[in-house]
Structure 1
Amino acid sequence: MILSMSGVVLLGIIVFLFFRKAGLKASHAVVSALFGFYMANTAIAPSIKAGGESLASLLGGIKF
């Protein structure tokens, strides 16, 4: 739950920055959000979730 919430917050910040700085149109953001909601109901959703968790653990394991 914490990982998915932090992922949502991170993606929200990225979309906000694209909207403010890179010229992302509101319609593009809405279409992207709807695409994400529809992808969550498909058979590929577990693979996407596993990939996100794998990436998060990889980034979490980096030592500076």
Structure 2
Amino acid sequence: MAVDVAVLLILGIVIVFSCRGGGLKAGHALACAVFGLYLAGTENIGPFVKDATASVAHLLSGLRL
């Protein structure tokens, strides 16, 4: 659990500095994806992230463009 929190903190800091530093590049996007996977794997926030993702996907699938 402590390792997950440390990894989340480090990846979160990387994302913040990447966004502030002039845009998101491929390496930054990879860091964001890894951050999301670690965040979804946590016990407290994981179910919320999965439910929110499913809700957004359901909302987007219902849109007619």
Q: TM-score, normalised by structure 2?
A: 0.45
Q: TM-score, normalised by structure 1?
A: 0.46
With a CA cutoff of 8 Å and minimum separation of 6, indicate the structure with the bigger relative contact order. 2
